[in-house]
Structure formats: C-alpha cells, structure tokens
Amino acid sequence: MRLSLSLIFFASALPFPASGQSSPAPAKADVVQYHAAIDNVKYVFGVAPPVAHLKPGNILEATSLDCFGNALQKPGDTMALVKGDNPLTGPFYIDGAEPGDTLAIRILDLQVDGKQGVGTFSPGFGAVNSTHYTPVLETKPLPERIWFYPIDKEKNTTTFQALDSDFQVSFPLHPFLGCIGVAPANGEARSSIVPAEFGGNMDAPEVSAGNTLYLPVNVSGALFYFGDGHAAMGDGEVAGSAVEVPMRARFQFELVKGKHAGWPRFENEKEIMAAGVYRPVDDAVRIAVTELIHWIHADYGLSELDAYELLSKVARIHLTEMVDPNYVVVASVEKQYLPPKKH
Amino acid sequence: MRLSLSLIFFASALPFPASGQSSPAPAKADVVQYHAAIDNVKYVFGVAPPVAHLKPGNILEATSLDCFGNALQKPGDTMALVKGDNPLTGPFYIDGAEPGDTLAIRILDLQVDGKQGVGTFSPGFGAVNSTHYTPVLETKPLPERIWFYPIDKEKNTTTFQALDSDFQVSFPLHPFLGCIGVAPANGEARSSIVPAEFGGNMDAPEVSAGNTLYLPVNVSGALFYFGDGHAAMGDGEVAGSAVEVPMRARFQFELVKGKHAGWPRFENEKEIMAAGVYRPVDDAVRIAVTELIHWIHADYGLSELDAYELLSKVARIHLTEMVDPNYVVVASVEKQYLPPKKH
Amino acid sequence: MRLSLSLIFFASALPFPASGQSSPAPAKADVVQYHAAIDNVKYVFGVAPPVAHLKPGNILEATSLDCFGNALQKPGDTMALVKGDNPLTGPFYIDGAEPGDTLAIRILDLQVDGKQGVGTFSPGFGAVNSTHYTPVLETKPLPERIWFYPIDKEKNTTTFQALDSDFQVSFPLHPFLGCIGVAPANGEARSSIVPAEFGGNMDAPEVSAGNTLYLPVNVSGALFYFGDGHAAMGDGEVAGSAVEVPMRARFQFELVKGKHAGWPRFENEKEIMAAGVYRPVDDAVRIAVTELIHWIHADYGLSELDAYELLSKVARIHLTEMVDPNYVVVASVEKQYLPPKKH
Amino acid sequence: MRLSLSLIFFASALPFPASGQSSPAPAKADVVQYHAAIDNVKYVFGVAPPVAHLKPGNILEATSLDCFGNALQKPGDTMALVKGDNPLTGPFYIDGAEPGDTLAIRILDLQVDGKQGVGTFSPGFGAVNSTHYTPVLETKPLPERIWFYPIDKEKNTTTFQALDSDFQVSFPLHPFLGCIGVAPANGEARSSIVPAEFGGNMDAPEVSAGNTLYLPVNVSGALFYFGDGHAAMGDGEVAGSAVEVPMRARFQFELVKGKHAGWPRFENEKEIMAAGVYRPVDDAVRIAVTELIHWIHADYGLSELDAYELLSKVARIHLTEMVDPNYVVVASVEKQYLPPKKH
C-alpha cells in the first residue's frame, strides 16, 4: 500500500534567456572544470560526496567516459572488458538547491571527445528481442556484437560499417547525453541505466546544446550527474545502443526556488517539451501529454481543454528510447502556437 | 485457441517510379471519377458491392465526406447530428487483385474540399482521458466540445480559435487521409474507426501526396476504401480529432502479384516506412521495427543484426495516433542509409 | 477520428433463478437440437443465415467440433491438416432479440464429446514466445508440437504425456467453451479467434455449467454461436491451447429487454463476474473492475467509492487468457459480500 | 545505453522441509526478538546499519507498524497525519549471506497485532482512477476516504462498513505482509512503496504463514526488511489499500549458497510459485511464466516446451496488485503435477 504522490505543478521561469544553439555563456560566470576518469566515476544516481560545488550562474566544463567506461576500443574487444554500464561524472553540488526547488540546466556545448564511437548488441537487451523485462522462450539467444564508428568532426559525420557484408554509410552527428540527472526523491538511489522522474538514463536527443533541462531538486545541493555521451542515435535506440562516445560538456546552472516539476521538462527558444518516463510507452505518452497540458495551462493561460485540442493539432511526440528499464517519450509544442507567456 | 498466423514476408517492388510530391500521373492512364455523398458512403471495411472497377495503372479521382459526414457546420451544432463516424468512399474493385497479392496505392494528390475544418472532443475518447478501452472512475466526465477551423488555401494554413479565451493561432496544412484500407482477411468486417493489418483508420500523416501505400490483398478485387480527411494533425491525435475535412483525392493503383505484406508499408523516393498497428504502443513499435528490419534484410540485403544496429542509429519512429481501437506507429529509414536495392 | 461510444449500463435481472451446477432446466421448455459437422460450421462471428430459431425460454442441445475441426487424431498428424481455427456451431436466431437488449445464456450442461483431447504449440502464438502481435527477432522459431490427452470420464480426469521424457500425470476435467458469442455491433464480423465486447474466443473457464453469461444484442435475433470446447485449461492458456475437445452443450436463453451491457458479464448463485476483453492486460483489468463497480452500484446500491473499497478487500481477478488477439480478465465478487439486490 | 543483465538461474533447494501452515519451527533454533516503533523504522530498501544479526537457522520474532505508521486510528483522522508510507522493520543482517546466494525466508507465523485495520482511498493512487503513472485529465479528482475495519480474532473475520450507506459485511482474515525484501542490487535503494527483483512492496498474499520466499542476496548480510501487514486483501488491491494492520511475525532464515534467482520465488509443500514484478501486467506475466518454466526445467527435468504445454493446462496466475510503481503476478503449479524433483 502507498499513499498518493502529491505534485506541485510548476510554472516555468526559464531563469536566463532561452538560448539558441550558438548562444554564448554570460561573460563573467565562474567556471568549474572537472575531468572524469575510471576511478572517479559513479554508477548510481543518489547521495554521494560531491566532487565539486557550483553556485547558480556558474558554468561547469567537464568530461564523461563512454557508457562502457571507454573499455571497447578495437575489434576483438568484448563486453567482458566492461566494468560497469554508464559511468557517471559527478555529483556536483549546486549551492542553495533545496528539495522543492527546480534545477535548470542550460546545455551550452557538447563535443564528442574522441575519434571513434561504439555500438553494441547484447542478447537480453533491446526493443525487439527477448529481454530481462519482456522475456520470451527462445531456442537460442541472438549473439553479442560490436560495431565501431569512426567520427569525422570536419564533415560532422560518423560511419556505419556492416559486420555481415561490406556495406558502409555515413550519417550526421547529433551529440547529446544519454545520462543526465540528480539524486532521486524519497531516499532512493537508482542505477545509471535507469531513467525516471529525476532524469537519469533518458537517452533523449533533447539533451543537446541549446536546450535547457528542468529537473526537480530532491536533496540539498541537487547532486548533478551526467554521462553516456551519444554522437548520434535513432528514435527508440532500438538495438540498445547509440553511437557511444566520451564527451566534453559545458553547462550552466540556475535555480527556480520553491517550484517543483513532477517530471523532467525541456525548453529552448522555440519549443517547450515535457518528458514522460515510465512503462509501457502508453503511460509515458500519458505522462508527457498531461504534463504539457498542465504546463500550457499554468504558464500560457489556455484552458486545459483548449490546450488538449490545440495539441491534437500541432503537438510533436518523440519516443526517445524503448530499451531501458523505463521508456522515455517527449511531448512538445512550438511556442509560436501558444499565447504569450503569463508573468 | 488459435493457430499461428503464417506471414509471407514480401520483397517490395515499387511498381512505378517512387514519386515526389509533385510527380504527375502517367499521361495515358484511364481515370475513374467518383463523388461521395451521405447516401453512398459505407461505415465498414469489408466485402460490399463495388461502386466502380479500376484496372492496374488506372487513376481514381474521388471525394470523401469528413469524419462526421459533413454534419457539423456551425457553432451550436452537436454530435447528436452525426449519423455515423468516418463515412467511407468505396469500395473500388481493382481488377486482377487476388488474395496473396499486394495492392500498391500511389497517392497522387489530396486537396481539402471545403473552407473549414472541425475538431471535437468527446468524453470517453482520447489519449489522456477516461475512455472505452482505458476506463477510470471519475466524478464527472469532461464536457463535449467543438472547434471550427477556417482553411486558408492561399496561405496554406488553418486557424485554431480557443473556446475559453480569445486566443487564436494559425498553423500549416498537411492534408492526408485518416482512413484508407481494403477488405480485411479471414472474412472479417471492421468498423471504419478501426485500424489494423488491412489499413483502415490509421490516422497516419504518411497517407499524403507523394507516398505509396502497400496493403495486403485479402479478397478478390481488394476492395479499396478511403475517407476521414485531415487538413492537419499533431502526433498521436491526442484529443481524438484532427482538423477534420472533406477531401478530393487522386490515386493510382498497381498490383504486386504473389507477394504479401503482413502489415501496411509506405514508400517514397527517400524513405521506406513500416507500420505497426496494435495495442499497446509497445507492441505497435515492435511490429513496425521488426517489419522494417525484415524489409531491409529482404530487399536491401543487410543481415538482420546489421539492420537492427543501423536502425538503432538512424531510424525514425512516429506515433501517428493513440486514440483509436488500435494504435499506430510508423518506423522508417532513409534510403540513402541503405545499400542499393536487390534486383 | 471517431466519436465516443455511448454505453447504457445495465442493471442485471437474472431472468431465471440463478442456478447451481446441477439445477435442471424448466420442465416444459421446448428443446432445439443441432449437430455440428465440418460442412456446417462457421469461422466468423457475424451476420449469417441462422441454422435454427429459438424462443426465449427454449433449450438448445447442440454439439461443437474441437478447435481444429477434429482434424488432429493421432501422432503424426500435423497442423497442415487443419482447415480453419475454432469452427463455430450456429448461428442461432433468438426470436424477439433486438439491438439494445441483453441475451442471457444459461449454461445448463457441457460434456466432452469424445475420448481424447489435443494440445498444440505453434510458433508465433503463445504468451511467452515471439508472436504475430508481440514479435521479436530470433535466431530460429520454436518448433511445432502436438500432445494428445486421453479423457477418463469415470475418474473425471485427463492425462498429460511429456514428449521429451517419459513423464505423465493426470489432472481433473473442467469442461467449458472457449468460444461463445453473438454477432458484433457496428456491422462488424470478427474471426472466431477473436474475443471482444460480443464475447467470442474468451477462453474463459467461467463459460461452464451453472453459470449464466450476459451478452449485448447487436443485431436482430442476436445470432448466437459457440465452439472451441476445452476439457481443462490453466490460467492464461499460456502456450496457446487448452485440452481441446469436441463438446455436447445444453443452453437456455432468455432476453433482458431494453438493457444493454457494454461488456460480457457472468452470474451464478454465488457470484457476479464482469469481463474485460482487450489489450494490454492492464486495460482488460481496468474494464473488468470498472464494470464490476458500475454493476454493484447500479444493482446493489453501494456508492462507487464504497464498491471500489470493498473490491480492494474481497475481489477476485482472473486472467483467463493472454494469447488471443485480445486478452481476457474476469473480475468477480461473491454475492454474500454485497447488500441485497435492489428491485 | 546499458548492457544485458546476466541471470544465473537457480535450482531451488528448499533448505528445510517445506512446511504446512502449522509446522513448528525447529526446536533448538536461536530466537532473535525485535520490536518496531516509529523512531526505528526505515522507508527504503537499501543498505543501512542492521538492527540485529541472525545466523542461518535462527528465528526472528518481530513486529511491524501498519503502512501508515499506525497514525490513522479513528474517524476524523486524515492522511495528513501520516509521516511516511510503509515503514519497514529492519534491516536484519543474515550472517554469511553474500551476493550470488539466495536467501530463503520461511514464514512461520503472522498475527494481526491490534484490534482494527484501516483502508484508504487517495486520489492519484489506485488501479482504476487517474494516477501518478497513468494520469488522465479530469474535472475533479475523486475524494480522499478512510474506512476502519474491526478485527474479530475469534471468528477470524474483519468487517467492512460502507461510508455512503449503512451496509456492513464481514469476511475472513488472511494475514500476510505487503512488504518483504532485501537490499537491491547494483547499489540501488528503493522506496518501501516499490516492489521489484529484491521483493519489496509485492502486496502478495503468498507472503503468509506456511510459505517460503526465496530472494536474491545482493549485498553482504542480505539486509532483510518487512512491514505493511495486511489482514485481508482482494486480488489487485484495486483501490490501493488492503485491511492495513500492524503485525507480529515469526520467520526462519536459511541460505542457498552460490545460487541466485533473478526474481522472487515462493514454495510450500504443495506448490512452486514464481513472481514477475514489473509493468505492464503483460510483462509481469511474461516474467513469472518464463521463470516458472525455467524452474520446472532446472529442478524437475521437463523440457521447456513440455513445461510450457503443461502450464497451459494446469498453471495458476495470480495478479496480486496493480497499484504500486510495479505490478506483481505470481505464476504457480502444484507439485503433484510435476515429475519428482532432481537431486
């Protein structure tokens, strides 16, 4: 048995001007720098001693290892070399953040930190094979496989090379972070493979430069973590991996005091975006869409039924991944279709 | 108890050159014309006397009523005026089509046939309210509502006018058909509100000019129907309606003899697209993605694991609707990312 | 797009005394007899010429073939011999039944009509293997298999004989009908493998002697069908078959005029039972439980919240099958826990 | 991205004779006693300083508070008095337990520790109303409600008293623990409202005297917790609460060294039972049924297909709850239907 969770819906404030992809950080912000290594990463979103403190307005420049701890480097390497999934950089303590606040994370820049990415298939994990949470009887599991993806930063592309034929093809980079989150609520600690209300392994391409992510603050200091860089990824991350890469990241933090969102939210100059992070996909959609309706109602003043109707005409719904322990859907609407924001 | 369904996966042939939005129909094709009216529409995808015959290569020019049978015209009109949902134009008998074939439907042109569209909310129907198939206890159902959308063909826009405030906003037209399908397999007849293997009420923006739709032929003549024109729609059609309009449509038909797809497929010059049409969304995704992998393997020669991996990097997954008795997901990949098609 | 389905919730009347397993039929009822054969069965729940007429109060004594049309008789027989799944006996026209009524079907007696039952596994069908509607990639499908089950009527048991070892074990018979239903609403015709609002392939052990089944009447005469006899079955019918047998059945029909249930309901002397028939199981549970709450509120006078609370303490929820195109859940409560029925 | 979870399926050992409801504990076992109070309870399954140590074979006699911390005692009390949900007694450190082992928990006795139980409805929580994880738009949430249930130990019953009418009815007690579990794997800590691989808030009536529960050991000492006593509960715990009571419990612990189950398992003299603990219910069923098949194959020697077929004839599938963050299904089979256990 449990009681109802009470949510205080939050009227977004976008505490700095919403930014486009190229907007520079404020000139005088203090910058904290941090370098991830295999002996300082974490594997859990939870309470742990902070690796650094930042004040609201400060900028963080930090690196992350790839989701395999950079262990897969060349043909012949196998999963057995991987010491843990999704090593996280952090946690970073945001001074002044208290439960009930919202942490706004402005993603200023993401750069692939290396010359190659990795893709893997592991039996038991994926959207359309027998898995831990959707098991089926089978005569023999599919085999483990590893693909390497050279990164061409000049052309802004990476290249798929088939393993069972000689086909290869290049496609554009879209760098983003698979993992980004804070310490969960209710004293929980969650594996870095899990996405949920606190963010986590959302595998959302929306976690890219130019977007701001809002997360609920659940513990003093919020305790910010990130990792699992992706150079590019298809919708749903169906076979279970993106083009997995180490990353160099630049963030700026701000606090919205006394306001608390139930679920992660994104914003940029053009769109507002609400995430639903649960299973099945149907429920992730229900969460994302009701959150977006509540957001429009609270901040832009449409009635809930008018907002519902408008979304039925112009909403976008993005299935970011259907392979992790929870699934992630982002529902969004362009600001040009909304009334002016309420003060 | 039932036996397994056996599927013969089909290697697509694209029986005419894949077309862009503006490609003209072949010059000398015979043209069949047909005009829908409230006394000649159908409400079921099934076996019924054909309203016309077409030969492969022929062109059909026909109109459809809107999903309310054009019954809602002005403020004050109510759902009580609607005699039946999704009236269908058809069926059209395609000469030579036999069970085991695939019907290729080239969508040459779609034009909104009127000056106004309609959007409605009905309690019991929608993605995020209590419904017939996902019922919850509630103190009072949400109220019925109707919105009217003036169509501006010159600007290619339509306009939302809020009912509970004075906000209005315009957004672009993207005309497509909510309903398109053939007679189902196994002697079934399905309501025009249902999407399934035979197509039907897929509410897929992919049913637009420039795309070719492949459907399995289940009965002699295939028995093609269409209707439920949409001037524009958001992903998921979340409140249960698009901008509902009468439509003028132009199609060309072709047959792929002796090949049979288990589920609807789309194709144009740039993409191949596989639909999954079932519940929950998770299973619709599984159907769409496995179908796309089988398609790539059969026609483009990648191994299934290579195809799975490639889709994990470049696939698009589109939730077209989550409101009808089955849900619809379209998984797609750009042809530029695939090997050359096998002969 | 579609409108809301409007449901008129029905206050059950139980038009004859609720019966225990042994209660005899009224003495003077007319009896209609009918014998199923492979050339008179149907494979669709829909409108078809009736094979006989019955008046309310009449008794039907009829036989059904097993779900394979009695085609599997001995080791070495294969699925290829099966001409169609779930051949149905009927339809029977119930005089006076009109849309908006409820048909009450009292199941007086069911007897296994033979000395042996059959169980099968077919790849592509089952609760925990890759299927048509929940497909996954696999290296090789599981193999087709057939088990034969001798029936011992004296001991009231049947016997499982393992195929891959020499183990055998007997277990009790519980004869019931996998298929029982009427013509669907909205002009639909549904395959005999499908359960839905009209009943159909519910694979519910509740369809056994002593129970009364209520189904909505959707067309004049209701058009009653049955088949797919089961000598015994586990919850969920997980591998896709029960102990499949031909059956001899005895029913009595009654009409509840002007009352209409949205979903199938069962009743006997001790319990009321509401079925939810859809996908995923979560939604089948939601349908069954909300129906049971509405039923208790309408007929037994508890408020909806009191009924909800009481069910949280004493309800039973039965997953009958999770293998057919829709899944079936029956939620029930003992009448001893309810207030006296309202007049 | 994450890697596959690797599971080592475990061949059960039942380290002491499977017990019936009345079987006494071994005569000479050491007994540890512990008394729960509001200032020593925990709200998280995770690593915390143990409140006591036990050796394998030892007996634990301990009490638990009800799920509201015993805060709701009389009409007029409200949820606002509740300081936390599901306060847990523990953790208890089992000497010698190491990751990779299985902890066998023999439930020797459970006694309701008080004269009254409580049932509650909270908007946002329940199987058939708008919830945190399945939200829908609504005009007004359902109201909060509290029911009190006097316990009659002599008659072994408790009594429901309707709030909106003067109806009351008694029904039998079946005391069990809603919460029972160990510290989770992968460094996670989970709220006491969550059930998962580690057990937790399974709300399973199978956690009753006479049954043995097997849980995977994930940390040294296993760290055993329990709480959330239920005097009785309906399938699904649909409105979100059982008859919530404080409990006096008696357990005996044993270790199965070097064997590890992926999911919780139950056993008694007559049955083996495998739990699936996830969302949606479909996946919980898939987990429970595949686990049961693997168990039968490993310990009783049937081939997987024979086990699958046998379960299709004699399995029981129990939906214990559909209200917590994960749902719980228990699939079971009677041992009389299985071959003799392998040595």
Q: Are B177 and B228 in contact (CB under 8 A)?
A: yes
Q: Are D211 and D77 in contact (CB under 8 A)?
A: no
What is the C-alpha separation between B199 and B201, in angstroms, rounded? 7
Instruction: Evaluate whether residue D55 is within a structural domain.
Output: yes
pLDDT, mean over chain D? 93
What CATH number does the domain containing B101 carry? 2.60.120.580
So what's the pLDDT on residue C20? 36
Instruction: Evaluate whether residue B131 is within a structural domain.
Output: no
Contact status of A290 with chain D (Cβ, < 8 Å): yes
So what's the pLDDT on residue C27? 53
So what's the pLDDT on residue A84? 95
C13 sits in the region (left: phi over 0; alpha: psi -120 to 50; else beta) called alpha
Contact status of D3 with chain A (Cβ, < 8 Å): yes
Nearest to D137 by CA among B244, B143, A281: B143
**Maximum Cα–Cα distance for chain A, whole Å?**
62
Q: Which residues pair with C45 in a beta bridge?
A: C190
Size of interface A-B (CB pairs under 8 A): 201
Q: Check D239 against C309: CB less than 8 A apart.
A: yes
Look at chain A and report how many structural domains it folds into: 1
Least CB–CB distance from B317: residue in A235, A302, A338: A235
What is the C-alpha separation between B278 and C277, in angstroms, rounded? 15
Least CB–CB distance from B122: residue in C3, C125, C203: C3
Contact status of C232 with chain D (Cβ, < 8 Å): yes
pLDDT bucket at D99, cuts 50 / 70 / 90: very high
Partners of C148 on chain D (C-beta within 8 Å) are none
Q: Check C302 against D162: CB less than 8 A apart.
A: yes
Instruction: Evaluate whether residue D101 is within a structural domain.
Output: yes
Contact status of B309 with chain D (Cβ, < 8 Å): no
Distance from the Cα of D331 to chain C's closest Cα (Å) equals 9
Partners of B165 on chain A (C-beta within 8 Å) are 301-303, 306, 339
What is the C-alpha separation between A196 and A208, in angstroms, rounded? 19
Least CB–CB distance from A140: residue in C129, C136, C139: C139
Q: Check A139 against C135: CB less than 8 A apart.
A: no
Distance from the Cα of B128 to chain D's closest Cα (Å) equals 5
Distance from the Cα of A27 to chain D's closest Cα (Å) equals 35
pTM recorded for the entire structure: 0.94
So what's the pLDDT on residue A28? 67
pLDDT, mean over chain A? 93
Q: Check D129 against B136: CB less than 8 A apart.
A: yes
Please classify residue B117 by burial: count the beta carbons closer than 10 Å to its beta carbon, then call 0-12 exposed, 13-18 middle and 19+ buried: buried
Q: Check A238 against B311: CB less than 8 A apart.
A: yes
Please classify residue B114 by burial: count the beta carbons closer than 10 Å to its beta carbon, then call 0-12 exposed, 13-18 middle and 19+ buried: middle
Please count the other Cβ atoms lying within 10 Å of the Cβ belonging to residue C297. 18
Q: Which residues pair with D60 in a beta bridge?
A: D32, D251
Contact status of D201 with chain A (Cβ, < 8 Å): yes
Nearest to B113 by CA among B233, B307, B250, B4: B250
The two beta strands, B59-64 and B31-34, are parallel
Residue stretches of chain A with pLDDT short of 70: 1-28
Q: Are D147 and C309 in contact (CB under 8 A)?
A: yes
C86 sits in the region (left: phi over 0; alpha: psi -120 to 50; else beta) called left
Partners of A237 on chain D (C-beta within 8 Å) are 1
Partners of C303 on chain D (C-beta within 8 Å) are 162-165
Distance from the Cα of A325 to chain C's closest Cα (Å) equals 18
Partners of D322 on chain C (C-beta within 8 Å) are 282, 285
Least CB–CB distance from C315: residue in D236, D289, D337: D236
Partners of D139 on chain B (C-beta within 8 Å) are 138-142
Contact status of C241 with chain D (Cβ, < 8 Å): yes
Instruction: Evaluate whether residue B286 is within a structural domain.
Output: no
Which chain B residue shows the shortest CA-CA distance from A119? B309
User: A102-126: per-residue pLDDT in tens?
Assistant: 999 999 999 999 999 999 999 999 9
So what's the pLDDT on residue A10? 39
Least CB–CB distance from B136: residue in D136, D139, D282: D136
User: What chains are in contact with C, requiring at least 3 Cβ pairs below 8 Å?
Assistant: A, B, D
Which chain C residue shows the shortest CA-CA distance from D333? C234
What is the C-alpha separation between D281 and D298, in angstroms, rounded? 25
Which chain A residue shows the shortest CA-CA distance from D118? A1
Q: Which residues of chain B from 76 to 95 reach within 8 Å of chain A, CB to CB?
A: none
Q: Which residues of chain C from 312 to 341 reach within 8 Å of chain D, CB to CB?
A: 312-317, 319, 322, 327, 331, 336-339
Least CB–CB distance from D319: residue in C313, C317, C337: C317
Instruction: Evaluate whether residue A127 is within a structural domain.
Output: no
The proportion of chain C whose per-residue pLDDT surpasses 70, expressed as a percent, equals: 92
User: A148-181: per-residue pLDDT in tens?
Assistant: 999 999 999 999 999 999 999 999 999 999 999 9
Instruction: Evaluate whether residue B9 is within a structural domain.
Output: no
State the best of B145, B170, B203, B238 to mutate against chain A, taking most chain A CBs within 10 Å.
Answer: B238
A90 sits in the region (left: phi over 0; alpha: psi -120 to 50; else beta) called left
Least CB–CB distance from D140: residue in B135, B140, B282: B140
Q: Are C151 and C112 in contact (CB under 8 A)?
A: yes
Least CB–CB distance from B234: residue in A281, A312, A339: A312
Quick one: how far is CA D265 from the chain centroid?
A: 11
Size of interface B-C (CB pairs under 8 A): 145
User: C110-148: per-residue pLDDT in tens?
Assistant: 999 999 999 999 999 999 999 999 999 999 999 999 999
User: C243-262: per-residue pLDDT in tens?
Assistant: 999 999 999 999 999 998 89
The two beta strands, D271-278 and D168-172, are unpaired
So what's the pLDDT on residue D18? 41
Ordered per-residue pLDDT tens for chain B, 343 residues: 444 333 333 334 444 444 333 444 445 679 999 999 999 999 999 999 999 999 999 999 999 999 999 999 999 999 999 999 999 999 999 999 999 999 999 999 999 999 999 999 999 999 999 999 999 999 999 999 999 999 999 999 999 999 999 999 999 999 999 999 999 999 999 999 999 999 999 999 999 999 999 999 999 999 999 999 999 999 999 999 999 999 999 999 999 999 988 999 999 999 999 999 999 999 999 999 999 999 999 999 999 999 999 999 999 999 999 999 999 999 999 999 999 998 7
Partners of C285 on chain A (C-beta within 8 Å) are none
So what's the pLDDT on residue B261? 80
Partners of D331 on chain C (C-beta within 8 Å) are 236
Instruction: Evaluate whether residue D200 is within a structural domain.
Output: yes
User: C196-213: per-residue pLDDT in tens?
Assistant: 999 999 999 999 999 999
Nearest to D1 by CA among A287, A65, C139: A65
Q: Check A124 against D6: CB less than 8 A apart.
A: yes
Phi, psi torsion values for B46, nearest 5 degrees: -170, -165
Q: Check A43 against D193: CB less than 8 A apart.
A: no
Partners of D123 on chain B (C-beta within 8 Å) are none
Model confidence at D22: pLDDT above 90: no
So what's the pLDDT on residue B12? 44
Contact status of C139 with chain D (Cβ, < 8 Å): no
Ordered DSSP codes for C11-60: ----SS----TTPPPPTT--EEEE---TTT-BSEES----SEEE-TT-EE
Least CB–CB distance from C1: residue in B1, B244, B287: B244
- Show the domain range for A180: 31-120+170-337
Nearest to D316 by CA among D298, D338, D331, D297: D331
Q: Which residues of chain D from 254 to 273 reach within 8 Å of chain C, CB to CB?
A: none
Phi, psi torsion values for D259, nearest 5 degrees: -125, 140
So what's the pLDDT on residue D29? 76
Q: Which helix (H) or strand (E) holds B265?
A: strand B265-267
Instruction: Evaluate whether residue D195 is within a structural domain.
Output: yes
Q: Are D261 and D102 in contact (CB under 8 A)?
A: yes
Q: Check C193 against B2: CB less than 8 A apart.
A: yes
3-state secondary structure D131-178: ECCCCCCCCCCCCCEEEEEEEECCCCEEEEECCCCCCEEEEECCCEEE
What is the C-alpha separation between D231 and D172, in angstroms, rounded? 9
